[in-house]
Amino acid sequence: MVVAQGLLGYGLTSVMGAIPAEIFEGRNYGSIFGSVMLAAILGGAAGPWVTGVMYDRLGTYLPAFSLSIVLSLVSAIVIWLAAPRKIRSVAGRVRVPATAP
């Protein structure tokens, strides 16, 4: 659990702002990022409760841990599907080809 939490949990928090910014840039980014974070917080609150219910009913944590792996994979796939497919020009980073005289 420590390895999974360290590598997959808090290891990914550094991109929590970058992924929505890349996909949903613009003037409504603040509202979109707030909604994403609200969903993340609600999921973080519901996860332990759902895990407890599953443990009480099934007597093991294996199904809950398996469910978390599947949902993590679904999340990665959805982020990949929503990712922009073209490179955007960024001021100061675009090379303009030299023109012939």
Q: Give the helix/strand (H/E) hosting 26.
A: none
Q: What is the pLDDT of residues 8-20, one digit of tens each?
A: 666 666 777 787 8
Q: Maximum CA pair distance of the chain? A: 78
**pLDDT at residue 94 tops 60:** no
In terms of phi and psi (left: phi > 0; alpha: psi -120 to 50; beta: otherwise), the region of 87 is beta
Taking only the tens place, the pLDDT of each residue in 63-82 is 999 998 898 889 889 888 87
Inform me whether the pLDDT recorded for 101 exceeds 60: no
Per-residue pLDDT of 20-66, as tens digits, reads 887 777 888 889 889 988 988 898 899 999 999 999 999 999 999 99
Residue 96 has pLDDT above 80, yes or no: no
Share of the chain above pLDDT 70, in %: 71
Query: 0.75 cut: is pTM over it?
Result: no
Q: Where are the extended beta strands (E) located within 1-101? A: none
pLDDT of residue 23: 79
